Amino acid sequence: MKKHKIGITGQAGFVGYHLYTTLSLDDEVELVNFERSYFEEPDQLETFVASCDTIVHLAAMNRHENPNVIYQTNVDLVTKLINACNAKEVTPHIVFSSSSQELRDNLYGKSKKEGKSKFMEWSHKTGGKFTSLTIPNVFGPFGRPNYNSVVATFCHKVAHDEEATIINDGEVGLIYINELVAVFIDAIFERILGQKLGKNSIEITIQPNHHIKVSELLALLKKYRREYMDTGIFPNLENAFEKALFNTFRCYVPQNHYPVKYTKHTDPRGSFVEIARTQTSGQFSFSTTVPGITRGNHFHTRKAERFAVIKGKARIQLRRIGTEEVINYELSGKEPAYVDMPIWHTHNITNIGDDELITLFWINEPYNPEDADTYFEDVEIH
């Protein structure tokens, strides 16, 4: 079966990373690698556009001390992409990331509006398909604090016990990155209707799925800090927005927060340790592992999971998908402790002791083979 070849300009950015990693799980997709340097190397850019069935154009500048630089940079990126397509005489489907800022009187918004106009003109002249997606405020794991969104900024500050300041306590409309990526994928495969802009061109205006006051957002994050980081309690994860916000927050928890040691209660009968206190449903399980054996090497995109070592000696490893840094934690049943697994981090556990390892697991969703949200990838890159 012929695979659909997709290239993403800005694949290393916030939205690009999530779109790229999600598409990488689809066996019907072949991802065409893109480097930012291609915009300065016409031959490389031309090779890239000629290799793609669909190009998702995400690369853009949205912050600079001089707004004119933002405008010129973004318009130039669109022009270079169009010139490369024309040079190779190819007409890939171009999916353009626009912004609700289009309607505002600022140069970033004007650059997006101008870029959309240029792609429409190219589409009309060449017959190439063009889809413009107007995107609201986005939040999710790995956003840059003080850059991508107020959620990223507040998550970082609260998780690192820094002061978070509210400048304007208005209501914000938000979309979670997983929800946005789903719309992008529907647009790529033309499974979504849009408003016709002209011949071969459509526009899709994406509405925010969640609305919350800034003060309420900050209060929720402080609650996660107080209950989850300070006492280890998982919040209720039934509400879709709060689950998304909690999974986002967990990705800003400092590495040195783990492993978290349990409180061990001992009396003449033996000992008692509380493994996990939750305000949500879930599944508890345990495993025994013989020395030298590794379990896991998989990741989740939505599930919250805890590994608790109560007997033996273990090494827990994590690596964020798309990166090479491996995080290592050593735990011992002599001082029972746990590590929680952030989403989009492949993880494993190895018995590094001489005796049997006993590990308890909690995950917020019982296992469903029809929707497992479990993707296998080795933590260590060989």
User: Residues 307, 372: one domain?
Assistant: yes
Q: What pLDDT band is residue 53 in, cutting at 50, 70 and 90? A: very high
Asked if residue 104 has pLDDT above 80, the reply is: no
- Residue tagged active-site, from 17, 38, 71, 108: 108
228 catalytic residue (yes or no): no
Asked if residue 3 has pLDDT above 80, the reply is: yes
Rg for the chain, CA atoms, rounded:
23
Q: What pLDDT band is residue 125 in, cutting at 50, 70 and 90? A: very high
How confident is the model over 51-59, as a mean pLDDT?
98
Q: What pLDDT band is residue 84 in, cutting at 50, 70 and 90? A: very high
Question: Average model confidence (pLDDT) for the chain?
Answer: 93
Q: Is residue 248 part of a domain?
A: no
User: Residues 310, 367: one domain?
Assistant: yes
What distance in Å separates the CA atoms of residue 157 and residue 159, rounded to the nearest whole number? 6
Q: Is residue 308 part of a domain?
A: yes
Q: For the beta carbon of residue 60, count every other beta carbon within 10 angstroms.
A: 21
User: Residues 341, 207: one domain?
Assistant: no
Q: What pLDDT band is residue 263 in, cutting at 50, 70 and 90? A: confident
User: Residues 288, 177: one domain?
Assistant: no
User: Residues 200, 117: one domain?
Assistant: yes
User: Residues 289, 207: one domain?
Assistant: no
Residue 368 confidence (pLDDT):
87
User: Residues 128, 205: one domain?
Assistant: yes
Q: What pLDDT band is residue 268 in, cutting at 50, 70 and 90? A: confident
**At 304, which CATH number?**
2.60.120.10
Sign of the CA dihedral with 315 first, then 374, 143, and 382 last: positive
Range of 345's domain?
256-376
Q: Are 4 and 30 spatial neighbours (Cβ–Cβ below 8 Å)?
A: yes
What distance in Å separates the CA atoms of residue 162 and residue 143, rounded to the nearest whole number? 17
User: Residues 190, 89: one domain?
Assistant: yes
Q: Is residue 246 part of a domain?
A: no
User: Residues 267, 134: one domain?
Assistant: no
Q: For the beta carbon of residue 58, count every other beta carbon within 10 angstroms.
A: 24
Q: Is residue 222 part of a domain?
A: no
User: Residues 67, 182: one domain?
Assistant: yes
Sign of the CA dihedral with 27 first, then 320, 351, and 267 last: negative
Residue 121 confidence (pLDDT):
94
Q: Is residue 101 part of a domain?
A: yes
pTM over 0.95: no
How confident is the model over 184-196, as a mean pLDDT?
92
Q: Is residue 247 part of a domain?
A: no
Asked if residue 103 has pLDDT above 80, the reply is: no
Token pair 């400048």 is found at 167
Residue 199 confidence (pLDDT):
82
**At 17, which CATH number?**
3.40.50.720
Q: Is residue 344 part of a domain?
A: yes
Residue 280 confidence (pLDDT):
79
Quote the number of domains for the chain.
2
User: Residues 207, 119: one domain?
Assistant: yes
Residue 352 confidence (pLDDT):
97
Q: Is residue 251 part of a domain?
A: no
Asked if residue 372 has pLDDT above 80, the reply is: yes
User: Residues 199, 311: one domain?
Assistant: no
What distance in Å separates the CA atoms of residue 131 and residue 123, rounded to the nearest whole number? 10
Residue 64 confidence (pLDDT):
81
Residue 282 confidence (pLDDT):
83
Enclosing H/E stretch for 122: helix 107-126
Q: What percent of the chain has pLDDT over 70?
A: 99
Q: What is the pLDDT of residues 157-182, one digit of tens each?
A: 999 999 999 989 999 999 999 999 99
Q: Are 205 and 134 spatial neighbours (Cβ–Cβ below 8 Å)?
A: yes
Q: What percent of the chain has pLDDT over 90?
A: 80
